[in-house]
Amino acid sequence: MQIIPVIDIKGGQVVHARGGNRQNYPPLESVLSQSTEPLQLIADLLDWYPFSRLYIADLDSIMSARMPELELFQSLSSAFPQLIFWLDVGLTSLEQREAFSDLTNIRLVLGTESLPCPDSGWSKADETILSLDFKQGHLLGSAAWLSRAELWPKDVIVMNLDAVGSASGVNLQMLDEVKKQRQDVRVYAAGGVRSTSDLYALKQAGVEGALIATALHQGHIIPGSLLQLENETPL
């Protein structure tokens, strides 16, 4: 079971994502760090627990559909070479991926809300990750991303934007429906995780991992429970 912290960046600072209403996200308040500066916050997270992966959403790029300033991600990649960064910058074309080709510990997340209709070019067996972005129960972007599951890469995030930051619980039915589409992909849950109990429910449901922010920063999960969860074999 992979536990992947989420960092949402807006205006160069880490913010607290809630319900997908990105314009109104407040600065992050965390029991794990006093900083909203990305590099310091990540350092504090790693002091708390030795995470191997971290998800970053560049909200300015996602909302504007413009390529991000690369300096921040170059500095993070260099400062934390032991981390694999899952990075969503709202890519809209295959060509935009080339800007990140030299950053070997960054894997790009392709979100359906930003992408055009799928074709075989998006499904190449590379290091990209697909995020199926849902709001109010409906997929954002082309419905073809659900009907053309054969084009999915091996790692797929089920992003329930309504549940982000809500502590409302995970939507196991939504995850199960996605898993039925392609049983050979690794599915990750994003949105609604409240506690270790939710993580165990996801693990028992065969979910590969979970993306978490609020439950970590509000102190609802402790390092010992993560270590046990990541190393236990499901019943």
User: Which whole number is the average pLDDT over 177-193?
Assistant: 94
Q: What superfamily in CATH does domain 2-231 come from? A: Aldolase class I (3.20.20.70)
Burial readout 49-88 (b: 16 or more C-beta within 10 A, e: otherwise): bebebbbbbbbbbbeeeeebeeeebeebbeebeebbbbbb
Give pTM, 2 decimals: 0.92
Residues 6+ apart with CB under 8 A from 56: 6, 7, 8, 9, 38, 73, 76, 85, 86, 87, 88
Helix (H, G, I), strand (E, B) or coil at 102: coil
Burial readout 101-122 (b: 16 or more C-beta within 10 A, e: otherwise): eebeebbbbbbbbbbeebeeeb
**Separation CA 74–CA 39 (nearest Å):** 11
Q: What is the DSSP string of 187-199?
A: EEEES---SHHHH
Tokens encoding 68:
């991000």
User: What pLDDT score was predicted for residue 227?
Assistant: 87
Tokens encoding 108:
């790009």
User: Which whole number is the average pLDDT over 117-134?
Assistant: 75
Helix (H, G, I), strand (E, B) or coil at 135: strand
**How does residue 120 score in pLDDT terms, banded at 50, 70 and 90?**
low
Burial grade of 18 (CB within 10 A; 0-12, 13-18, 19 or more): middle
Boundaries of every domain in the chain: 2-231
Rg, C-alpha atoms of the chain = 17
Tokens encoding 147:
């009907």
pLDDT digits (tens, 9 = 90+) for 42-86: 999 999 999 999 999 999 998 887 778 889 999 999 999 999 999
What average pLDDT is seen over the chain?
A: 89
